[in-house]
Chains A and B, each alone.
Chain A
């Protein structure tokens, strides 16, 4: 469906204006989502099903997250269907977005090293292009180029890893590999080969984590997120990580935990410590995303449903923060640039108190204040980690989350000052569509504790 609409859009994009394109594209996505919802009926197929000659595998493990991703993308893309003050519209946006989405949605389902590479490139290339879409902006082109270089490097590593793996096992299929892996585990005398297979997987994991921009290989991603226009940052800082993370989670029985462990430690430390001396909102949010993904790495190691709970809270809070930032751009009288009007923390004095309250709630959730989703997510991660006896990791998690609280609370204090700011109350309000989306997010955030039990039940059944 996405492919078809993509082709259609190729034709359309030559002759219509950008707003129409964006709206049409979003509607297409909604239809696709509805169709995709039908795949829920395959839950009863216990091991999942494979598609396209075992290239893709749709299981109950990757289904929830792809739904989540889809929903999030739609909500984020709705921003582009509205008229805003700093208007950034392009004819090619939807086109690229469609191809990107194809890559993103298919990546978690990948069951073959070749398709892994293909899907990875499909989503990466479209992201490179999307980043540089506004080539009038020097920063955006810079980000795009940097992204391209770094992403290319990671892709080469993936390719190399797959080559070695193929060389050794004679197959590119992941199911075959996991079978092989099991076999190796049972007969212990041939230990050498087993070890080296895991090593090559380590290489791929490292490349993927590099692409996700987790510490210690995170410097490039911070600058990319910072340079790109805000609405692009919102999109790419979340989705790329999510789809790759989901693939890693689904196939985590193939990997060693060492690599995850290393990235977990460093991401946590970096994500909590680095933003302490940052003034740049986008960088801070990027670091906070990294910190949250550090927690997610822990759930990958423990391999339980806290992964989904954490992902939900991550998506919800970060989406709210980014959408709030985008909406707050309306009030920027002296924008930093046209592409990212709200860039620094001191710009968070907003005349719209409801908006600042929403942002504060999202930040509270990130801090882990009950009864917001952040708390539950943290509780489940902690419980899961304790179950598997990751003691030191949980302690580090706590220390880091307190460190992170400090910069969240700094942002909050900045937001709070908007209360005392009575001037410029009479300015244009945010677009009603955006306001609607934001309030929907807020409702989801506030009532999380009500629907969480149902979600958990569902996840439990799916993961049985």
Chain B
């Protein structure tokens, strides 16, 4: 599989070099082709490619987002290398969800840092050096602990396969140790509160497609790793550390929501808001109930649609037109960019978790799961809905409402490309909000993750 994808990427790079004027189109097509292996396998053997619904869902999200993020940078990037990096990044993320082994997971997890680092260092905004360093340092340092855990697995079990390790029953001490080591990697990637500082910087400085993929897919890697690497194998430790995780999630949620209210940079606001949503996902993940787990994954997916959409809007459409990201400059977009405003409002409402959006389903289920597990903390956690409504409404109000400011000149409304992009993100959100069954039917294998006594 790796070789197939690698050859796709190499061929694309080479062919694009031959036809210089068509490279964007070629990259785009090949990013869509990336989906092929998965789909093909489904038809062929009528099985989920040795994965299950949880992975498939995230894989679909990835292959959906990569072409979209390429298209989002269609006009403002004229560099082949950029698209190559995007393609490779998407490919690595894809393989991350495919692999069935902890060490390979770690490998793709780390390897995806390399293109991101290069992308950020080359095409980032003004503060890109800092952002690239933050990203690299934080993730590398934390994930080295994961590597340590994997080395320990190698020493103890001589195996890091998901299936094989989940068959073993490890002692409590060992589980706790492994859990802590893995958790360090995951906490940074999610990100949870004390170690979240890299994310706003990285999001705000990275080029648009980079931040779209970061928010859309890379944050979900943490969720996925939680499900694959930690919950099946380290069951007891997961239960034992649930209170700690809940406290951390609560802290993250409260803190980031409040921080969002204080921000002035549009992209940083979206970044902070995605942090608080990921914390809700994490709460659902640790609820040890079917509702919570389902909610967590549904919210992951929903967030994977909405957050890139918001990024596209503030980092792409508005930024391309006005070349700044400061909240204070924008006002009264409704008066002369009605379409954009409407899209923005819709996405905002989705992000808050208004009923009939997919986010609503996700948040509702995660919260329910959390309440089951820890009523008091669950109650506190539900404040996050209020808080997210606060910051999102502030953002939307400031942008769309009011009069046009003198800092802005009139520009055209959304173009066809942008409409297409936004609609393609909004449609699944709404559709799955109306009919969430489809996405939940994916998740039939979630019961494996629960720890129940019979």
Contacts and interface: CB of A to CB of B under 8 A. Distances in A.
Interface of A: 360, 364, 367-371, 375, 378-379, 382-383, 386-387, 394-395, 398-399, 401-402, 405-406, 409, 412-413, 416, 419-420
B25 interface: no
Nearest to A370: B107
SS class, residues of chain A in contact with chain B: helix
Interface centre among A386, A395, A401, A406 (most CB of B within 10 A): A386
B106 A413 contact: no
B145 interface: yes
B89 to A, nearest CB: 14
A353 B249 CA distance: 44
A406 B133 contact: yes
Given A398-B144, A402-B137, A370 B110 contact: yes
A409 B107 contact: no
Contacts, number: 71
Interface stretch (B150-158, B224-232, B282-290): B150-158
Interface stretch (B16-24, B112-120, B265-273, B411-419): B112-120
B111 A370 contact: yes
Contacts of A368: 110, 140, 144
B129 interface: yes
B148 interface: yes
A364 B132 contact: no
B148 A416 contact: no
B121 interface: yes
A398 B113 CA distance: 17
Contacts of B132: 409, 413
B151 A416 contact: no
B118 A383 contact: no
Given A364-B114, A370-B106, A370-B107, A405 B151 contact: no
Contacts of A405: 136-137, 140
A394 B148 contact: yes
Nearest to A402: B141
Interface of B: 81, 103, 106-108, 110-111, 113-114, 117-118, 121-122, 129, 132-133, 136-137, 140-141, 144-145, 147-148, 150-152, 154-155
Interface centre among B103, B113, B121, B133 (most CB of A within 10 A): B121
Contact of A371 (B111, B122, B148, B150): B111
19 contacts: A364-B114, A368-B110, A368-B140, A369-B110, A369-B111, A370-B107, A370-B108, A375-B107, A378-B147, A383-B151, A386-B151, A395-B148, A406-B133, A406-B137, A409-B132, A409-B136, A412-B117, A416-B122, A419-B81
B118 A416 contact: yes
A412 B133 CA distance: 11
A402 B151 contact: no
Contacts of A416: 118, 121-122
SS class, residues of chain B in contact with chain A: helix
Given A416-B118, A416-B121, A383 B155 contact: yes
Contacts of B151: 379, 382-383, 386, 394
B428 to A, nearest CB: 33
Given A383-B154, A398-B145, 4 more contacts: A368-B144, A382-B147, A386-B151, A398-B147
B267 to A, nearest CB: 22
A111 to B, nearest CB: 33
Nearest 10 A/B pairs, CB to CB: A370-B107, A382-B151, A398-B144, A402-B141, A383-B151, A386-B155, A416-B121, A383-B154, A386-B151, A370-B110
B303 to A, nearest CB: 28
Contacts of A369: 110-111, 113-114
B127 to A, nearest CB: 13
A395 B141 CA distance: 11
B387 to A, nearest CB: 34
Contacts of A370: 106-108, 110-111
Nearest to B103: A379
Given A402-B140, A402-B141, A406-B137, A386 B121 contact: no
Contacts of A413: 121, 129, 132
A409 B111 contact: no
B348 to A, nearest CB: 36
Contacts of A375: 107, 110
A227 B71 CA distance: 51
A302 to B, nearest CB: 12
Given A370-B111, A402-B140, A409 B145 contact: no
Contacts of B103: 379
A88 to B, nearest CB: 34
B155 A398 contact: no
Given A364-B114, A409-B133, A371 B121 contact: no
A394 B440 CA distance: 42
Contacts of B110: 368-370, 375
Contacts of B117: 409, 412
A402 B137 CA distance: 7
Contact of B148 (A387, A398, A412): A398
A401 B133 contact: no
A369 B103 CA distance: 13
A406 B140 CA distance: 10
B107 A367 contact: no
A367 B155 contact: no
Contacts of B129: 413
A412 B129 CA distance: 11
Given A383-B154, A386-B152, A413-B132, A401 B144 contact: yes
A395 B103 CA distance: 19
B221 to A, nearest CB: 15
Contacts of A419: 81, 122
Contacts of B144: 368, 398, 401-402
Contacts of B114: 364, 369
B210 to A, nearest CB: 15
A371 B113 CA distance: 12
A208 B122 CA distance: 44
Contacts of B150: 379
A412 B121 CA distance: 9
A416 B123 CA distance: 10
Contact of B140 (A367, A379, A383, A386): A367
Contacts of B113: 369
A368 B133 CA distance: 16
